Amino acid sequence: MQILFVFSSLFRFKDSRMEDVWLVDFYAPWCGYCKKLEPIWQEVGAELTRSGSPVRVGKMDGTAYSGVASEFGVRGYPTIKLLKGELAYNYKGPRTKDDIIEFANRVAGPAVRSLPSRQMFEHVLKRHSVLFLYVGGESPLKEKYTEVASELIVCTYFFSASEDVLPESVALHELPSVVVFKDGTYFTYDEYEDGSLSSWVNRERFQSYLPIDGFTLYELGETGNTALPCSVKYSAKSSLMLSCRDFQFGHMEGNDYINSLIMGEVSVPSIIILNTSNEQYFVPAEPVEDLEQLLRFFSSVLDGSAPAFGGDGFFQRIKRVAYDARSTIMSVFRSSPLLGCFLFGLPLGVISLMCYGICMAESDDDTELMKRDGFTDEEEEEGEEEEQQRATENYSVRL
């Protein structure tokens, strides 16, 4: 049985494209990240084949088949797509074997999975940190829920069940309902308070308190959350998180990434609120020592009284480019001074030689012009002396 398909025939790919579920790596031969992904991709293919998954794993040279790559919206390499029928799902998670396999198995299955019993519900509740559940019979809400699940299955899991599947601790005021289970509790969707179902699911698909890195921060920025409290090694309480649902809580190890984000030095531990929609950030005016001070800080951000820093304006972007360039140069010199001197000294040396050559070329051109006019430097000096001598003789004759 073939573990990994390398598409060398465009017609072969199009023939099998609609018949099976495909997990395809669009790569470029010259791409270093693609080469780094190659052994992981081999493991993904082997694991999915071993487990009996219906997902077939393949790879395609996007530079050789640029038309197909363009058709699927490939704009960079490597790009991982799961192709299921007419739909193409883009993988945006970490490029690890387990994460890619989990994505493939989730998206390859039905958008909404049915939970026939309470035992099954308790099983998936233990297995997933966040899950969405539709409770009730056929309704317009269920149609909308299925539509949202088809779109956002790349991010999370969607289930459906009847009311008797739920434990007695879960009380729903009306049916049908859409419920999210996370952080040891649950929240029910309210169309009037929460807006569209799609935006609500997109906001609620994260745990209330989670580790944050650059990728997670980017994903949070796409959810429409108004602000992200970024807590660097700060211990938050669950009651606080539940009472401040306007914020997404998280913690970040170290301060390198946040330093780059705010273009400054952040001490550890610190509390920073980042508005992911416009890259503005807020910091407490005084050290936070208790829960009451923290709540006051949150309230000042929500009512607009807290001063905002940063942003995504034109001058801020220029400043960010300059800061990133300086940081890159400094990091190179710190890690390898000799390499830094070579990388930055060599171009400066070449530029200096070019400037010197240009200046000397201009000087040579002037000399050549003087030679064409019949003069050299020595002849010009002799001519000046003769002129002075004739002027002196003329003056003597007049006397």
Catalytic residue IDs: 31, 34
Q: Name the amino acid, one letter, at 342.
A: F
What the block records as the tokens of 270 is: 């610190």
* Contact (Cβ atoms closer than 8 angstroms) between residue 229 and residue 249: yes
Cα distance between residue 34 and residue 60, in whole Å = 11
Residue with token string 């003056």: 395
What the block records as the tokens of 218 is: 């980017």
Neighbours of 218 (CB within 10 A): 11
* Contact (Cβ atoms closer than 8 angstroms) between residue 78 and residue 33: yes
Neighbours of 45 (CB within 10 A): 22
Helix 197-204 to helix 140-152 angle (10° resolution) is 50
Cα distance between residue 26 and residue 45, in whole Å = 15
What the block records as the tokens of 7 is: 């598409």
* Contact (Cβ atoms closer than 8 angstroms) between residue 54 and residue 108: yes
My answer on whether omega of the bond before 110 falls inside 30° of 0, hence cis, is no
Residue with token string 């002027």: 391
* Contact (Cβ atoms closer than 8 angstroms) between residue 290 and residue 319: no
282 bridge partner residues: 273
Cα distance between residue 195 and residue 47, in whole Å = 41
Cα distance between residue 213 and residue 13, in whole Å = 37
* Contact (Cβ atoms closer than 8 angstroms) between residue 112 and residue 159: yes
231 bridge partner residues: 251, 271
What the block records as the tokens of 181 is: 């289970």
